[in-house]
Structures are given as structure tokens and as C-alpha cells.
Amino acid sequence: MAANLNNLAVLYRDTGRYAEAEPLYVRALQIYEKALGKEHPYVATSLNNLALLHSATGRYAEAEPLYVRALQIREKALGKEHPQVADQPGQPGRALPDTGRYAEAEPLYVRALQIREKALGKEHPDVATSLNNLALLTRPPAATPRPSHSMCAPSRSGRRPWARSIRMWQQT
């Protein structure tokens, strides 16, 4: 039942029907917590999905604690170096760039990259995704332009994460 509610909520979220998605996410979360316990990875997924909905609707202050709790559950259940811990949707840093908190987001994105490189190898497509996400921190959304930075500029740490992503793409 919870999986079906969650899947329907994902459909509603992806089609912009946010008001219809939220109660389904909340109900799925309640079912998972009651049936599996508050520390189960499915609870983390439900928390993450609800946080994604809040982020999509600009409710970043509500999304952030959900992302943090989901990450804590995954770390406890799977270990701090598991690839699911590195998944960007599960990272509390996901909402930070949307609120202009780039400096706080970068270490979280770097951590995700390091976990993926260690767990999956430097040539894995998920590593390229992490590199791309990190590179996007150097280019804010159009709604918050920062003329001193561009997609090709180094990140705040001076690295150019996009360069390795491009090299990986050229090798395929």
C-alpha cells in the first residue's frame, strides 16, 4: 500500500500536481514508519521524496530537515560510504543551492563525489553525475545570476570538476 501511494505521489509531483502529491507522501511515510520502524531505509526514501516535493514548491526550510533525517537513516542502515548515501536526492545539500547557500552545499557535493569514486570507481556514470552536480554549483540558476562565475569557472575550491566529466564523456 505504501509503495503504491508513493508511486502515485511521484507521478503527481512529476506532473506538477503538488497539492495532490503531499498527502500521499505523508501517508506512505506514516505507513512505513509504523510497519518497518523509523530507521528503515524505506522511511529514508519516503522522507527524501517528501523533501523533494517541498523543494519543488520552494519550501526549502521544510525540506532540509527531511533530507538530513533521510541521510542519517541511510548512514546508520547502510554505512557512511555506501553509494546510496551519495545519491544527490538524499543529500541535505540538494536544497542549499536553491537558497543561495553554495558554500554550504559544495562540501556535501564533494563528499558525494568521493563516496561514489571510492565505491563505484572513477569511470562509473554515477561519478560523472556527481561531477556534473558539483560543476553546476559554479553556475547558479538563472533566477539568481552571479556574473562573476560561469559554468566554466573553477569551483570555490579552485577545482574545475566539469573538466573530468567532459574527459569521461569524450572517452566513450
Q: Is residue 88's pLDDT more than 80?
A: no
Q: Which residue has the cell 561531477?
A: 131
pLDDT of 130 reads 87
Q: Is residue 154's pLDDT more than 60?
A: no
**Residue 88, phi-psi category: left (phi > 0), alpha (psi -120 to 50), beta (remainder):** alpha
Model confidence pLDDT, tens digit, residues 101-126: 888 888 888 888 999 999 999 999 98
Beta strands in 12-132 (DSSP E): none
Pairwise CA distance, residues 118 & 69, whole Å: 24
Task: Show the CA angle centred on residue 89, arms to residues 155 and 129, nearest 5°.
Answer: 50
Helices then strands (H, E): number in the chain? Answer: 8, 0
pTM, whole model, 2 decimals? 0.71
Q: Quick one: fold of 1-79?
A: 1.25.40
Pairwise CA distance, residues 15 & 24, whole Å: 15
pLDDT of 65 reads 92
Confidence of residue 15 (pLDDT cuts 50, 70, 90): very high
By three-state DSSP, how is residue 147 classified?
coil
Residue ranges of the domains in the chain?
A: 1-79, 96-172
Residue 141 C-alpha from the chain's centroid: 16
Confidence of residue 140 (pLDDT cuts 50, 70, 90): low
